[in-house]
Structure 1
Amino acid sequence: MPTAHWYTHPPARSWVCPPAPRDAAAFHAALPGYAPSPLRELPSLAVELGVRRVFVKDESSRLGLPAFKILGASWAIHRALAEAPGERLVTATDGNHGRAVARTARLLGLAAHVFVPDAVHPAATAAIEAEGARVTRVFGPYDDAVRDAAEEAGRAPGAVLIQDTALPGYTRIPGWITEGYGTLFGEIDAQLRALGAEPAGLVAVPVGVGSLAQAAVTHYRVPRDAPPPSLLGVEPDTAACVLTSLTAGRPTTVPTGATVMAGLNCGTPSGAAWPVLRDGLDTAVAVTDADSIRAARDLAALGVSSGPCGAATLAGARAAFSAAERRAALAEHADRTVVLLSTEGAEANPHAPNSH
């Protein structure tokens, strides 16, 4: 449990970083079945939140999978195998990343070995196995699964670790995964322009170890013509490692518990993401399972399939816009164009909102 459920540091909006490499976007565009995921406008949410426009980036069907993770996994695997061909891909996952690695391995004719913490629902594990991967269940939290995957890759000949958590001495592949996520934000910019909308004033991002949020920061904190948006990181209140770290001013590991936001159930920030989030993430909030479940139900009623991890951003936006002091801490133009990243469809997470 974090010491506080809200963090704000407005000076982060003036921090700038070099542009991230854009090679991944062309790679993704050349993949069979590629298309930008939909950016759906939901006027009723704009009325509820008291903002001009709300858009949801709907990742419920991305290259044949019900989550965004294949953007990072496919690009990192492409880069890694180009430098050092391997026969087997190894990773740890809370669900969606492991399935993306397993799918990419199957398409390339490679074996995959995926380590899964015991909190992951058996249906999510079965989906990974259905991709042809070997699954090892770890009787511990996500951090333990990451450790076991790294140890297995280190001792197995021909194995390549494809992990989205940067570890000491292991940063290049997590960096490529983060680069792959950048495709999503480039799509958002183009889609907002095509819809005649103003640039994003607030972007809400689900946070696990922080790699997707890192991609958001490196996309929106480059020098740009438009005023910088507020970037809102959203975590479960039972696993808010980034919010707790931001509040403490240093990377902090937190104990994790059960949560319907299984893909965000991470206790330690990625080492590569941490300095970027520390300097460039201006707001963060922790939300409850009940708030996430309600948000998933509300999105479903509006025609957007979203699992609890994806719907967490709506719960976070509600928390951010519900209090005057919180609204005042956001960018002045945050209430013009709000973008919520719904990073998974309901199919990705068996903890369906209607089952609670």
Structure 2
Amino acid sequence: MTKRPWATNPGAGSWIAPGVRESALEFHRSMPGYAATPLIEVPTLAELLGAGSVWVKDESNRFGLPAFKVLGASWAVNRLLGPTSTFAELAALVAGRQLTLVTATDGNHGRALAYLARALGLRSRVYVPAGLPEEPVQAIRDEGASVIDTGLPYDDAVRAAAASVRDGDVLIQDTAWPGYEEVPRWIVAGYSTLFAEIDVQHPAAIGLVVVPTGVGSLLQSAIEHYRAPGRRTSVLAVEPVTAACVTNSLTAGRPVTVDTSAPTIMAGLNCGTVSFTAWPTIQSGLDAAVAVTDDETRAAQALLHTYDIPAGPCGAAALAALQVTGPRPGAVVLINTEGDAQPAATLGASIAQ
């Protein structure tokens, strides 16, 4: 059996995130259809896994989209094209402008940006990597985007999107590289709304937050939130065994690019390189990272479905990580980053085969 990618960082608990973080919460509250996504306690999971309590932050329906990604995309677009205080002000500001929002995606970020472009009366162009299932691709098209199938791995699709930008194009990418850092930082800041909601929903101390991780932007947001002065919540990252760039980077002490050509059901986490701007925060403040298999994630997904939590594979990875890392005292929050398009009955049947 191949050794499971697993890394710990004993010094992370004493690290404090520097600076004052901007808040996107009031802007998000001004968006049509805003509601805090639910934080669901699952006592049976706590008993099963030896935790004090287990809670699931369910992002399966955020503004009618099956993922949290619109939080970052909307805040970045607002900061880049505004900034404004409300969504209505942003819409008025861009009205009549011939702009195209451009990105590369392995699913949810691209759909979120296309949704946002449509809501603002703008165009969108989305580059997708090889192997992305037709269903998320069609969902992006249904939001009005022009979809470019690159036939390339995710990292190369990102490069293709960036190289395509011309006058009138606005690149909103959720990973950073030298020279492209401001927008990804705003995306990270936009994700802070998710954790601000948890603060209200669960004001007591939280022992552990488990974050499904691709390039590391949501992870960076979680670490900065829970490493603010006075906080000591541990953060665990989870990735596919076939795309464990954060875990391998944490082990190596430097960013490591991994080959992501092997398929995984966790398509949204199938990223080979840590975001340039996320890495310093991850290296200093992440307590641990672990990789899980597709089979472990399928089983965790089916279990969450029995509790009426419609997790997709990426979101279910958080539960899979908790299952493979063992009992945890105190409260544990699992971030279910996405909903699932596959009916629970069909999922159960596929596992039984």
With normalisation by structure 1, the TM-score equals 0.91
The Cα of 1:79 is off from its aligned counterpart by 1.1
Matched residues in 2 for 1:291 and 1:305: separation?
17
- The match for 2:333 is 339
Q: 1:296 to 1:344 in 2, by over 3 A?
A: same
The Cα of 1:353 is off from its aligned counterpart by 3.5
Matched residues in 1 for 2:342 and 2:104: separation?
17
Partner deviation per Cα, 1:190-228 (whole Å, 9 max, x = no partner): 1002xxxx311000000000000000011011111x5x1
Gaps of 5+ in 2: 84-92
Q: Contact 1:96/1:263 (CA < 8 Å) preserved in 2?
A: yes
Matched residues in 2 for 1:348 and 1:264: separation?
18
Pairing partner for 2:144 from 107, 132, 138: 132
For residues 22-101 of structure 1, the aligned pairs below 5 Å read: 22-82=22-82, 87-101=99-113
The Cα of 1:316 is off from its aligned counterpart by 0.4
- The match for 1:103 is 115
- The match for 1:330 is none
Question: The residue matched to 2:61 in structure 1 has which SS?
Answer: coil
Q: 1:341 to 1:141 in 2, by over 3 A?
A: same
- The match for 2:321 is 316
Matched residues in 2 for 1:71 and 1:349: separation?
26
Pairing partner for 1:221 from 224, 227, 246: 227
Quote the RMSD (CA, aligned, Å). Answer: 2.0
Matched residues in 2 for 1:109 and 1:88: separation?
10
Q: Contact 1:189/1:199 (CA < 8 Å) preserved in 2?
A: no
Partner deviation per Cα, 1:260-310 (whole Å, 9 max, x = no partner): 000000000000001110000011000000011111100000110000000
- The match for 1:146 is 158
Q: Does 1:261 align with 2:273?
A: no
Please identify runs of 4+ aligned residues in structure 1 that moved more than 4 A. 1-4, 83-86
Question: The residue matched to 1:23 in structure 2 has which SS?
Answer: coil
- The match for 2:256 is 252
- The match for 1:167 is 177
Letter in 2 for 1:318: Q
Matched residues in 1 for 2:214 and 2:168: separation?
29
Q: Contact 1:91/1:149 (CA < 8 Å) preserved in 2?
A: yes
- The match for 1:292 is 297
Question: The residue matched to 2:60 in structure 1 has which SS?
Answer: coil
Q: Contact 1:207/1:235 (CA < 8 Å) preserved in 2?
A: yes
Question: The residue matched to 2:335 in structure 1 has which SS?
Answer: strand
The Cα of 1:9 is off from its aligned counterpart by 1.3
The Cα of 1:348 is off from its aligned counterpart by 8.6
Matched residues in 1 for 2:129 and 2:74: separation?
23
- The match for 2:90 is none
Q: Does 1:186 align with 2:191?
A: no
Pairing partner for 2:276 from 271, 276, 291: 271
The Cα of 1:22 is off from its aligned counterpart by 3.5
Partner deviation per Cα, 1:86-111 (whole Å, 9 max, x = no partner): 60000000000000000000001111
Partner deviation per Cα, 1:223-263 (whole Å, 9 max, x = no partner): 11x5x121000000000001011101110100012000000
- The match for 2:242 is 238
Q: Does 1:212 align with 2:218?
A: yes
Question: The residue matched to 1:340 in structure 2 has which SS?
Answer: strand
Identity of matched residues, % = 53
Question: The residue matched to 2:236 in structure 1 has which SS?
Answer: strand
Matched residues in 1 for 2:115 and 2:343: separation?
17
For residues 298-309 of structure 1, the aligned pairs below 5 Å read: 298-309=303-314
Report the number of matched residues.
336
Question: The residue matched to 1:89 in structure 2 has which SS?
Answer: strand
Gaps of 5+ in 1: 323-333
> 305-314 or 19-28: which moved more?
19-28
